[in-house]
């Protein structure tokens, strides 16, 4: 059996296992989704979203791209955020980076990466914003890890900049935006414990898109 054929064999086994524990499992899935979480992470094949979160189908709405970038002009990620917040009413938005991220590493190298250049520029912008801190870290590996964390923070800021997140949070008290890093060396999920309300206050000074009368969190 080839690796390709094995996938369909795995799928048959998975269906049997699911039905063995709940005969109506797929009928229930077909009814609809009501996830509390929007997860935005890296496309890296080693970062398995549902597996590392212990989540079942239907529990996490997922968007992945190279180096978990939330680009203001990317219609794909902006549509995902809009749909997740306004239609699915998610309570939490997670931006999850990971150590050993190839996209972040490529952005640290002064090289021409062709079609990837405009994408990596988003991460190079994060480096530029934090260059004093990053340049003060002498060991390259530690600097690389810190850029992974700072990239998550800045992408969280990009999520908070959106009108749908600001307005919905001010009206309903959710969604809350979280920054995580997956440590590939240990399997551990690290919560960067971003102060969401503080970030929102800072962002509102410049990017205030809240509803008049409801436009301050402080
Ligand atoms: Zn990555």
List the catalytic residues. 42, 44, 46, 98, 101
The model's confidence at residue 212, banded by pLDDT at 50, 70 and 90, is low
pTM of this prediction exceeds 0.75: yes
- Residue 103 class from Cβ within 10 Å (0-12 exposed, 13-18 middle, 19+ buried)? buried
Determine the distance separating the centroid of ligand 1 and the alpha carbon of 10, expressed in angstroms: 26
The mean pLDDT of 108-114, rounded to a whole number, is 90
Q: What is the pLDDT of residues 71-87, one digit of tens each?
A: 999 999 999 999 999 99
Does position 126 have pLDDT exceeding 60, yes or no? yes
Determine the distance separating the centroid of ligand 1 and the alpha carbon of 94, expressed in angstroms: 15
Determine the distance separating the centroid of ligand 1 and the alpha carbon of 23, expressed in angstroms: 37
Backbone torsion region of residue 187, taken as left when φ is above 0, otherwise alpha when ψ lies between -120 and 50, otherwise beta:
left
Determine the distance separating the centroid of ligand 1 and the alpha carbon of 1, expressed in angstroms: 30
Q: Identify which of 85, 66, 75 has the alpha carbon closest to the alpha carbon of residue 176.
A: 85
For position 204, what pLDDT does the model report?
83
Whether the bond between 175 and the residue before it is cis, its omega within 30 degrees of 0, is yes
For position 216, what pLDDT does the model report?
56
More confident residue, 81 or 210: 81
Q: Return the DSSP state at 24.
A: T
């Amino acid at each position: 059996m080839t690796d390709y054929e094995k996938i369909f064999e795995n799928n048959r086994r998975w269906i049997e296992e699911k039905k063995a524990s709940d005969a109506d499992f797929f009928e229930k899935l077909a009814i609809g989704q009501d996830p509390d979480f929007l997860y935005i992470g890296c496309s890296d094949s080693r970062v398995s979203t549902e597996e590392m979160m212990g989540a079942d189908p239907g529990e996490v709405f997922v968007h992945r791209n190279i180096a978990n970038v939330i680009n203001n002009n990317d219609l794909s990620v902006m549509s995902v955020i809009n749909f997740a917040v306004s239609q699915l009413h998610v309570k939490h938005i997670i931006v999850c980076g990971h150590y050993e991220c190839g996209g972040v590493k490529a952005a640290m190298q002064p090289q021409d990466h062709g079609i990837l250049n405009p994408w990596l520029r988003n991460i190079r912008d994060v480096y530029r914003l934090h260059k004093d801190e990053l340049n003060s870290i002498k060991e390259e590996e530690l600097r690389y890890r810190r850029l992974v964390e700072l990239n998550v923070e800045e992408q969280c800021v990009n999520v908070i900049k959106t009108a749908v997140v600001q307005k919905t949070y001010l009206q309903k008290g959710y969604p809350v935006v979280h920054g995580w890093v997956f440590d590939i060396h240990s399997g551990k999920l690290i919560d960067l414990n971003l102060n969401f309300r503080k970030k929102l206050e800072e962002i509102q000074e410049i990017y205030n898109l809240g509803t008049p009368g409801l436009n301050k969190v402080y």
